[in-house]
Amino acid sequence: MIAIAGLLIPGTGGSWLEQSKADDPIPHRLPAPPVTTSTIATAAPANPQVLDPQPSRPIDVPDDPYAREPLVEIGTIEIPKIGLTHRMFHGITLNNIDHGPSHWPGSAYPGQIGNAVIAGHRVTHSRPFRNIDQLAPGDQVIFTVRGTRAVYAVVGREIVTPKATWIANPTPTPTATLFACHPPGSAKLRYVVRLALVSTGLA
């Protein structure tokens, strides 16, 4: 059993990002090292549809939440309603998620056809998704990733169990999914925000 930001992914063996009551994925581990410019690999600006083939499904995650994975910054996420502007990363381990919202490899990139899946913390590290439960239909989420500025609008919210892996399923239209543990400080449920693409353009 695997989890991404607390979401359990069946059939992969082991556990990953199963969050504690403090929303700290692995409380017995040392905190991630501080970010420095020398430790971040920044993807060169480009159209994501040129850089990457159309994804088919999110990749499987490793048993070790800190498995070897480069720290890769790919852009920013902005959520005006909750005053969030944060760097965004690309990876499936805590090497990236501990530093900010992270795009699940294999899911669509923002602006692409498909479901762009983004995981984030609510009460640990920089707490980027602390207030995502305040988002309402129509609120904007803006991604600037790999040379593309993609504006989405909230179309739905739901609370699901950790076994609700269908929230990461690919979609036939450009959508995005934000998720984190719920309520803050608990791993009992997951708070999910659904988004639909409004517009795209060059960053």
Domains and CATH numbers, the chain: 2-25+45-52+71-202 (2.40.260.10)
| Token output for 28 | 């017995």
**What distance lies between CA 85 and its chain's CA centroid?**
14
Q: How far apart are CA 44 and CA 41, in angstroms?
A: 9
Instruction: List per-residue pLDDT tens for the chain, 203 residues long.
Output: 445 555 544 433 333 344 433 453 323 333 333 443 334 444 433 444 334 555 578 888 778 988 999 999 999 999 999 999 999 999 988 889 899 999 999 999 999 999 999 999 998 899 999 999 999 999 999 999 989 999 999 999 999 998 888 898 999 999 999 999 899 888 789 999 999 999 999 98
Neighbours of 154 (CB within 10 A): 21
| Token output for 104 | 């699940």
| Token output for 57 | 């499904």
Identify the three-state secondary structure at position 97: helix
Write down the pTM of the prediction: 0.77
| Token output for 174 | 């450009």
